[in-house]
Every structure is written in structure tokens, then in C-alpha cells.
Structure 1
Amino acid sequence: MNPIHSFFVSFFFLTFVWFWNCTNYSTTTSVQAPPTLVSITNNGNSNFTIKVRAQNPEFIFQGYRLYQAATESLAQNPTDTNIGADCLLAQAAVVQPVEYTFEVDPSSNPNTAGVSCRIFATLTPGSYISMRTLGIAVNLANSTSSYRVSLPSNALIVP
């Protein structure tokens, strides 16, 4: 038998045995750190640039969700945290502080150079925005998954 093939067969078998016999997994949800909104700039034509500092590249990290409301409190604490505009980013393995540049624009234009992600939304000048981190949450009991959101970021007024 090929040694590489033998390794993969053994690895698969041990993983299968471990998966079905493992009862010592955590049911505690992982806590995601909220991002920090640094600035928002109006670029004209309903296009805005948001600078965000965050430290969330890890296994369950998925991206960010933007909320908009008439007051600071409502932007940070919406009645439904599932309603907002998402920006899903590529996962990274190393937890490092990162400064992201997000573009908020209702059009389907491609990203401007240097933009981490485009959020398809319309922002209203004078309203407040905040963001939350999205992490994947998997329920092993019923094999479902969903997004888990972090605590809210600070809020900024849309110029």
C-alpha cells in the first residue's frame, strides 16, 4: 500500500472515531470583539468610505454587519440584529489588528482600489451608523449554522 494513501486512510479513520466518540466539546459561544469605527467620508453620489479598526481574523470570523438608525442608541442596539447590511470577508488564520476600508454604495460597481469590501446599502446624511462582527455559530445538536453578532461598535454620524 502506498505510504501516503495509508496515512490518509489512517487519518480519516482516527478523525471519524474521534468525532463520534468525542463528548468533551464546549457549548460556550465564542465572543467576537466589536470593531472600532474611525471615520466616515461622503464621496458623493450616495457613496461613503468607512475606516474601521478591528481584530477578528480567526476561524469563526466571517465579516461585519452595518446598522443605520435615526439615533445613536438605535444604531448600536437595533431591535433585530439580523437586519443590516453585511460585508463578508475572506478568513485569515492570524489574529492581528487590521484597519479596513469599507465602501458603502447602493450601486453594483466594483470595489475601488484599496477597499476591503463593498457594502450595498444607502446611507442617509444625519443618521447614525454602527457595526458588529459576524462569527459563524454551529449547533452540533441539529447540524445548523447561523451568524452570531458581537457587541456594537461605537457610532458615527453620517455626513
Structure 2
Amino acid sequence: MVFPSFLIAVFLVFLGNCTNYSTTSSVQAPPTLISITNNGNSNFTIKVRAQNPELIFQGYRLFEAPTEALAQNPTDLNQGAQCLLAQASIVQPIEYLFEVDPSSNPNTAGVSCRIFATITPGNYISLRTLGLAVNLANSTSSYRVSPPSNTLIVP
């Protein structure tokens, strides 16, 4: 069985000599907001079209502001309300329903993502996709956010 041992040796030599890897984080595609519906009691349903099949995909972050520009370009990208999805939840290019609700109620049937937040009618909302960014040099990780989605006015 020299052949399998030879392949293992070649593989180990390749790994040891591989220095060509990217240090640039992958940029996730932003979702597209289709509509928002007020369900009463500070509960809203957002219809979203998204496609993020990359392995680094983690979920979404919602931003709300009194102007369209501030919703799309907040001063701190870490301040939005987020919805993290399980790794098994690979997002395919279809429409999804997200629920925005400050209560701890269980998801409504058909809801893909629940965001525990309060949003104000008349304000603008925007979503960004979260991707996992790993720094191999110092073994740290953080979330990298996508460019902003379009905005919708909260009814």
C-alpha cells in the first residue's frame, strides 16, 4: 500500500508549502426588501429576497433610522438588531418572511427569521447580511456586514 502513503505525503508537503491564500474577506450579497406589513402590537412581517449560499453566511442585521440615508449607512454597523441562522440554513434565491417583534413569542408559521426589536412607524429600515470573517494571523473572528439593502418605510 505505497500508493495511499504517497498521496498523504504529497498532500502534507502541499499544505506545508501553500502560501497563496487570500487575506481579503468575502463580501456577502445584500438582501432585497420587498414589503413590510404591520401586524399590530409592534409586530411586523418583512418579505425579503435573498441569496447567500456561502459557507461564511451567518444571518442578517436590521437597521432603523428616521431617514433613508441613516438606515442604509448607520454610524455603527454593530448596533442593528440581528437574526442569526443555523449553519444548516443555507439561503437560496427565493423570498423569505422575517418577523420583527420585541416579544419572545415563537415564530409565526412560515417565518424564516425572527428579529427581536421594536421599530417605529414612519422610520426607514434596511438589512445587511452577516458573514463570518476569520483572521488567520491572530486567530480571531468577527462579523463582516454586506453593503445595505434597499430601504422601506415602516407603515
Tell me which interval the TM-score lies in, with the shorter structure as reference length. 0.7 to 0.9
Flag the structure with higher strand content.
Answer: 2
Between 24-33 and 139-148, report the one with greater CA deviation: 24-33
1:102 CA drift (Å): 0.4
Moved over 2 A (4+): 13-22, 90-96
- 1:85 and 2:85 aligned: no
Report whether the alignment pairs 1:139 with 2:135. yes
Residue 98 (structure 1) shift: 2.2
| Counterpart for residue 121 of structure 1 | 117
Point out where structure 2 has 5 or more consecutive residues left out of the alignment.
none
Aligned residues: 150
TM-score (norm: length of structure 2): 0.88
Residue 54 to residue 126, structure 1, CA distance change in 2 (3 Å): same
Q: Structure 1: 5+ residue runs without aligned partners?
A: 1-6
5 Å-filtered alignment, 1:86-101, equals 86-91=82-87, 96-101=92-97
Quick one: structure 1 residues 64 and 16, their matched pair in 2 at CA, closer, same or farther if it must change by over 3 Å? farther
Contact 2:27 2:146 in 1 (8 A): yes
Identity of aligned residues (%): 80
Residue of structure 2 equivalent to 1:73:
69
Q: TM-score, normalised by structure 1?
A: 0.86
Choose the corresponding residue for 2:147, options 128, 143, 151: 151
CA contact (8 A) 1:58 1:93 kept: no
Maintained 8 Å contact 1:128/1:157: yes
Match of 1:130 among 126, 130, 135: 126
Q: CA RMSD in A?
A: 2.2
Q: What whole-Å deviation, never above 9, does each CA across 1:25-70 have from its counterpart, x for those lacking one?
A: 1112212111000000000000000000011122111111000001
